[in-house]
Amino acid sequence: MDFTFTDDQLTFREAVSRFLMTEAAPEMLREIWDTDIGRSPELRKNLAEQGLTALSVPEDCGGLGMDDIAWALMTQELGYYAIPDSLADTAYVAAGLIAALPAATASRDDWLGRVAEGSIRIAVGHPVNPLLADANLADLLLLAHGDEVHAVPRVQVTVEANPSIDLSRRLAAVSWKPATATLIADGAAGRALWAQTLNRGALSTAGQLLGLAQRMLDLSVDYVAQRKQFGKPIGSFQAVKHHLADVATKIEFAKPVLYRAAYALARGEAGADARVSHAKLACGEAAWLAARHGIQVHGAMGYTWEVDLQMFMKRAWALDAAWGDRGYHKSRVADAILVEGAALGPGHTFEE
């Protein structure tokens, strides 16, 4: 029993954090927000050079073969820097779905190889999300038709942009026609792939929300330590301190929930759905509280376009309902704990 990360995992996270600190600074976010496509090919290229697109791709397809547990750390960094790129959709969620296809599936290895080298962008259209992120820019779209999974080239779909308050999220409604040529899985196999994909999408979003919560807390701590009123930093006042202490506490108790969910997913545990939903709820709540208390302690500055906090708040508000809103995830938790014979109480946290 060891519920911690290895030194290697923590070192890798550190390296990613240092890289994103320079490559995804808030000024750059603002620049990319102002562009039409909302993406930077250069940033994507740099992410690929760091190996971040290759994380989930199996080693025999040119990747690093890392699992959901590694992504529990990675996605926090992606959230912390609010990178204006849907990296995790391609490199984690889509890569996971494609890697789970039978080895004989045409194009499987080719797609995975291209994910690893960073030369393909894949949008994932799970039915739980009414709109697709990055559909406009994607080279390939993974789309659902009932239980069927289709891999559809961008040219075969019609895309209608739906702007989000988070300018880093480029959402679109997609119209398309299912065809035999694009079908890559159906029936029970398709159903299982979509179920797994939803969990990965939710875990990815949960990790990003937790990273966002930490970033908003850090920004708020910096702000209240330098902003003075009544002749003192406002961070010396208890009313302000307690707002931020509550955020710190929420974050502290969301982290292990995220890690437990990642492990459940990596090991294919039967209870993974409830664990992932728990993580999504806990991380979403932490992020929303960090936003609420963050804007409060920033005062009027928090309501401006000028102060960076807004970019992180908007991402947090948006991601909270992505890959299943709270009602969806709360229902999954309720299903697990209210069912007859549910294993609850002490001693059931790890073993099923």
Q: Could you list the residues that contact other proteins (CB under 8 A)?
A: 1-6, 69, 217, 221, 224-225, 232-233, 235-236, 238, 240-242, 244-246, 248-249, 252-257, 259-260, 263, 278, 281-282, 330, 333-334, 337-338, 342, 344-347, 349-351
| Contact in structure between 349 and 256 (CB atoms under 8 Å) | no
φ and ψ at residue 18, rounded to 5 degrees: -65, -40
| Contact in structure between 234 and 242 (CB atoms under 8 Å) | no
Q: Least separation, in Å, of the C-beta of 255 and other proteins?
A: 7
Gap between the Cα atoms of 41 and 20, Å rounded: 15
Gap between the Cα atoms of 4 and 256, Å rounded: 9
Gap between the Cα atoms of 149 and 153, Å rounded: 13
Measured from the CB atom, the residue of 209 and 224 that comes closer to other proteins is 224
Q: Least separation, in Å, of the C-beta of 70 and other proteins?
A: 10
Half-sphere exposure of 27 (CA within 13 A, CB side): 2
Measured from the CB atom, the residue of 192 and 344 that comes closer to other proteins is 344
Q: Least separation, in Å, of the C-beta of 232 and other proteins?
A: 8
Q: Least separation, in Å, of the C-beta of 222 and other proteins?
A: 10
Q: Least separation, in Å, of the C-beta of 346 and other proteins?
A: 4
Measured from the CB atom, the residue of 197 and 214 that comes closer to other proteins is 214
Measured from the CB atom, the residue of 34 and 351 that comes closer to other proteins is 351
DSSP, collapsed to helix, strand or coil, labels residue 238 as: helix
Strand order from edge to edge, sheet including 158-163: 132-133, 170-175, 158-163
Measured from the CB atom, the residue of 183 and 221 that comes closer to other proteins is 221
Residue 264 tokens read as 């459940």
| Contact in structure between 272 and 199 (CB atoms under 8 Å) | yes
Q: Least separation, in Å, of the C-beta of 97 and other proteins?
A: 23
Q: Least separation, in Å, of the C-beta of 272 and other proteins?
A: 13
The DSSP bridge partners found for residue 229 are: 232
Measured from the CB atom, the residue of 55 and 132 that comes closer to other proteins is 55
Measured from the CB atom, the residue of 102 and 327 that comes closer to other proteins is 327
Measured from the CB atom, the residue of 2 and 306 that comes closer to other proteins is 2
DSSP, collapsed to helix, strand or coil, labels residue 122 as: strand
Angle at 272 between CA 91 and CA 95, to 5 degrees: 15
| Contact in structure between 269 and 352 (CB atoms under 8 Å) | yes
Residues in the chain: 352
Distance of CA 135 to the CA centre of its chain: 17
Best CA proximity match to 50, nearest among 81, 96, 29, 7: 81
Q: Least separation, in Å, of the C-beta of 189 and other proteins?
A: 28
| Contact in structure between 75 and 20 (CB atoms under 8 Å) | no
Q: Least separation, in Å, of the C-beta of 279 and other proteins?
A: 10
CA distances from 91 to 172, 217, 252 (A): 20, 28, 27
Measured from the CB atom, the residue of 174 and 276 that comes closer to other proteins is 276
